[in-house]
Structure 1
Amino acid sequence: MKFRPDNFTLMLVAVVLLASFLPATGDVASVLEKVTTAAVALLFFLHGAKLSRKAVLDGIMHWRLHLFIVLSTFALFPLLGWLLKPVLTPLVSPQIYVGVMFLCVLPSTVQSSIAFVSMARGNIPAAICSASASTLLGVFITPLLVSIFVTEHGASGSFVDAVVKILLQLMLPFALGHLLQRWVGPFIKAHGKLTKVVDQGSILLVVYTAFSAAVVQGIWRQVSVGTLVGLLVICATILALALFLTTFLSRRLGFDKEDEITAVFCGSKKSLVSGVPMAKVLFASSTVGMMVLPLMLFHQMQLMVCAVLAARYAKRAELIEGEAVAASAAK
């Protein structure tokens, strides 16, 4: 498995560089802000239209596994971030570590979690259910956790205000998309690239506008090469602990291998697709760049590490199947 950035990560880097040298200001920034808000609304509309009720119902009965993943996502991660704060904050700065805490309170990914569970031969229906539920629960849980861990560092408004903003800007388009699924769903499924373009395009727009505002506020005077290295160490530490603990605890709870795979990949990942729009809604424009920087680094790191881990799980499954076939043939 090659450790190399994917094309989307390279585009993210390019957008950050563009914002660093040519930040949007004045009227251009105002127009981009409105365009970005519309793109994010379209993104969640399309995801709502794609949501399969049958897939969710197929996996919803496995409540112990789903509860484990929810607790891993919204309790284990924030606890790790909070406990490690005295040790890890000196590697960066208190302001940057706030972005780390924001990373820790985000929901799990959907697409990549399901893809890795499928690749590793885990419980795919349960993964679909858990990943979808994590995104929906994050609408309420993430603002609550932000109000506990992050409010004093740039989050705007109260918990209620944050939930209302997310409901209006993210969940309302999502709900409309789901309600109109009967009419728009077939078109969206037939044009899968459309969702990908909107996915990536909306995130790139948010990142560009966020980093433009951050550059104007002097982000690169606060983030040195040493700080970036320290942030990479922090992300690697949190990811390694999350992977170890989800694996260890799922085995202690007696999950079979398929459920363990689902628990590990759904319970150890954080969503860039949800996190960037949430940061835009929850934080002042001047602080969004700082909030999403740890998430961007963690995103690429989790993809590379989980790809290797999924390949190992798949290889183990192939070996077991081969042994079973050989044993059957010997009878």
Structure 2
Amino acid sequence: MKFKIDTFLLSIITIVIAAYFFPQWGGKSSPLPLENIGSVGVSLIFFFYGLKLSPEKIKTGLKNWKLHAVIQTCTFLLFPVIVLCFYPLLQTENDRNIWIAFLFLASLPSTVSSSVVMVSIGKGNIPAAIFNASISGLIGIVVTPLWLGLFLNNTTTSYDLGEIYSKLIIEVVVPVVLGLLLHPYWGSFAQKYNNYLTLFDKSIILLIIYKSFCSSFEENVFSGINTFEFMLIAAAIFGLFYVVYFGIGFVSTKLGFSIEDKITAQFCGTKKSLVHGTVFAKILFPNPSAMGIILLPIMLFHALQIFIISFIATHAANRKEKNPVYLYTK
């Protein structure tokens, strides 16, 4: 079986390596205004996000409410609850930092582009995938900071929900609303040049990742993580993905979902957005050096979800119509 190499994933690996060897261009002493470029870029990302959202499609998508409820519940409740189960096991400050990174991953919204693409490949319910991936990003603006606030408010970490939401309103909500208002006029333009806008999104994400890892490498943030701990993090991410994936499959079967809806629920409900994760981390964690640890789980999860879902989607596309249940838990 042939796997298509994800160029964005390769770009992330390349940019992290570049940050390791050339941290001076993204660190505190950098002559480049990467922080300002990143802030403007984040606002533009969400402006284009709002510009591409169709209010009509969102209204139409509300009809399949059971499917939407399963996906959003898993995205914003099941994921965090699983991570919360490990909170009593924390012993050191390093354990807590890694756990916070996992909670951040667990509370993120679903990703739009890859969710829709994978559902399309697997012959699932594409309109429902578009609706859920789109609405998930809007819900995440509110829910993600709330989950983090439960555990960061009473620590030495600077985390003021009022300040956080002020930044989110300015950098995220206002651009999204402006994009939605301009959708009737420029929506067709955004769809026509969607590939270029996606390239812009990825470029800003790579810039933020580069700056974050430059600061982390400069301050030796990763010195507390050895090879064994890194492998444990990877194994935990693998386990988290499959618990949610098969959990959604079980619930979908009990609710009598069609195979198309089940595919959509499992593909969208297990996705976590690297784009939202990167831009949210920039706002929620003001300390640039801490962002390296925060972004590590979501970057690994991003690679894992692409690899596994690509494999499953390809097999799902080849399923026999008379016996469609394949790899989706009975």
Query: What amino acid maps onto 1:19 in structure 2?
Result: A
1:156·1:282 contact (CA, 8 Å) conserved in 2?
no
Instruction: State the distance in 1 between where 2:153 and 2:20 align.
Output: 27
Alignment of 1:123-138 (within 5 A): 123-138=125-140
Distance 1:118 1:4, change over 3 A: closer
Partner of 1:307: 310
Partner of 1:324: none
Higher share of residues assigned helix = 1
Query: What amino acid maps onto 2:7 in structure 1?
Result: N
Partner of 1:70: 72
Tell me which of 266, 283, 288 is aligned to 1:281: 283
Partner of 2:18: 18
Instruction: State the distance in 2 between where 1:4 and 1:80 align.
Output: 31
Instruction: State the distance in 2 between where 1:60 and 1:229 align.
Output: 41
Instruction: State the distance in 2 between where 1:167 and 1:95 align.
Output: 27
Aligned residue pairs, count? 320
1:155·1:282 contact (CA, 8 Å) conserved in 2?
no
Distance 1:76 1:190, change over 3 A: same
- Structure 1 position 68, deviation (Å): 1.2
- Structure 1 position 85, deviation (Å): 4.7
The two structures have a TM-score, normalised by structure 2, of: 0.90
1:48·1:177 contact (CA, 8 Å) conserved in 2?
yes
Query: What amino acid maps onto 2:130 in structure 1?
Result: I
- Structure 1 position 30, deviation (Å): 6.5
- Structure 1 position 155, deviation (Å): 5.6
Query: Is 2:122 the counterpart of 1:106?
Result: no
Question: Which ranges in structure 2 are unaligned for 5 or more consecutive residues?
Answer: 325-330
The two structures have a TM-score, normalised by structure 1, of: 0.89
Alignment of 1:172-251 (within 5 A): 172-251=174-253
- Structure 1 position 2, deviation (Å): 4.3
- Structure 1 position 203, deviation (Å): 0.5
Distance 1:187 1:286, change over 3 A: same
**Structure 1 segments of 4 or more deviating over 6 A?**
87-90
Instruction: State the distance in 1 between where 2:302 and 2:55 align.
Output: 28
- Structure 1 position 15, deviation (Å): 0.9
Name the stretch that deviates more: 156-165 or 197-206.
Answer: 156-165
Distance 1:153 1:242, change over 3 A: farther
Tell me which of 261, 270, 284 is aligned to 1:268: 270
* CA RMSD, Structure 1 to Structure 2 (Å): 2.2
